[in-house]
Amino acid sequence: MPEHDPPYPDPYLPPTFAGDPRTPPPRRLRRHDDTDDAGPVTGVLDAALAEDQRWSTWSAVEKGQRGPEPRPEWVVTADAAVDTELGVLKTGKEADVFLVERAVPGDDARRSLLAAKRYRDLDHRAFRRDTVYTEDRRVRRTRDRRALDRKSRYGRQVAAGQWAAAEFAALGELWSAGVPVPYPVQIDGNEILMEFVGTSDGTVHEAAPRLARTRPDADLLASWWDQVRDAMAVLARLGYTHGDLSPYNVLADGDRLVVIDLPQVVDLVANPFGTELLLRDCRTMAAWFASRGLDADADELFAALLAQAW
């Protein structure tokens, strides 16, 4: 019998977080230097954009590829908005993050700063321990499964898209559950647009520092430890663990902590390494707080999280 893809309600809607994290290929927006097949109106509109600009991709993505509702008021959804790339926020093992301003020209009320996380394909990533985190992930389309097994060029693109889609789905579910994570605005192929965590005076933009770079006083340290425990507890009650939680994956936004870098979030039950990764997260975070003088017990935290997970 010929091999068929399993039924799927809509190939362009992202699956649930526990399912197969797929997204369609990115939609390419025409720039002013893309003259082939461009109509006169499109050419005139694109000519107004600079090299570091594009029209907002909000309307170009499918409905299921936008962030959960209710959306924050600062999210700009106007078709007239322009995305302007302002620079690099960080380079990482599997992706680079850029600062993007989405704004309607001439309307200061419809303007927001976004972090654009763009995943690299497997040929250009430094992070190689994928199988530990993807053990419980499923690929529904037969073509995608074969391409992943062969590690073809298309397969490498599918793998990169899986990581982006996994993080977008995780951000949406965790944000809705009250975990302090950046709000996920949208996903388009291998690019996630999410809330920029930091400060801005309109001209100078400063990302919130990573927890590892901070030197809090005793009161703030105790408050941050409570926030870390609460965030990990919500994850555990949902049946997940971060999988790579460290002071480098937590931002200190004033008195508030924000958990970032979530593509490797794993299911505590479905992934055979789940509890092992949870214990590692507990030990890593407790060690940092203990090094700053706080009485933080990793084993006690691990036991409490396990009790909430089951």
Rounded Cα distance, 205 and 53, in Å: 18
**Sequence-ordered list of residues with C-beta below 8 angstroms from that of 191, at least 6 positions apart, any chain:** 26, 116, 117, 118, 119, 164
Among the listed residues 155, 151, 120, 128, the one whose alpha carbon sits nearest the alpha carbon of residue 141: 155
Q: Which of 61-75, 159-173, 218-232 has the lowest mean pLDDT?
A: 159-173
The arithmetic mean of pLDDT across residues 276-303, rounded, is 97
pLDDT-derived band at 121 (thresholds 50, 70, 90) equals confident
DSSP 131-177: HHHHTT-----HHHHHHHHHT-HHHHHHHHHHHHHHHHHHHHHHHHH
Q: Are 65 and 186 in contact (CB under 8 A)?
A: yes
Q: What is the mean pLDDT of the chain?
A: 81
Amino acid residing at 303: A
Residue type, 241: T
Q: Is the pTM of this model over 0.75?
A: yes
Instruction: Please list, residue by residue across 58-75, b when 16 or more beta carbons sit within 10 angstroms of its beta carbon and e when fewer do.
Output: bebbbeebbbeeeeeeeb
Q: What is the pLDDT of residue 98?
A: 97
**How is residue 19 annotated by DSSP?**
S
Task: Evaluate if residue 267 carries a pLDDT over 80.
Answer: yes
Domain parsing of the chain, residue ranges: 52-200, 208-309
On the question of a common fold for 52-200 and 208-309, the answer reads no
| CATH match of 52-200 with 2.60.40.10 | no
Specify the DSSP class assigned to residue 33. T
Averaged pLDDT for residues 33-57: 67
CATH code: domain 208-309 is 1.10.510.10
Q: Among all chains, which residue has been given the structure tokens 């400060």?
A: 199
Query: Is 142 in contact with 154 (CB distance < 8 Å)?
Result: no
What percent of the chain is modeled with pLDDT above 90?
A: 66
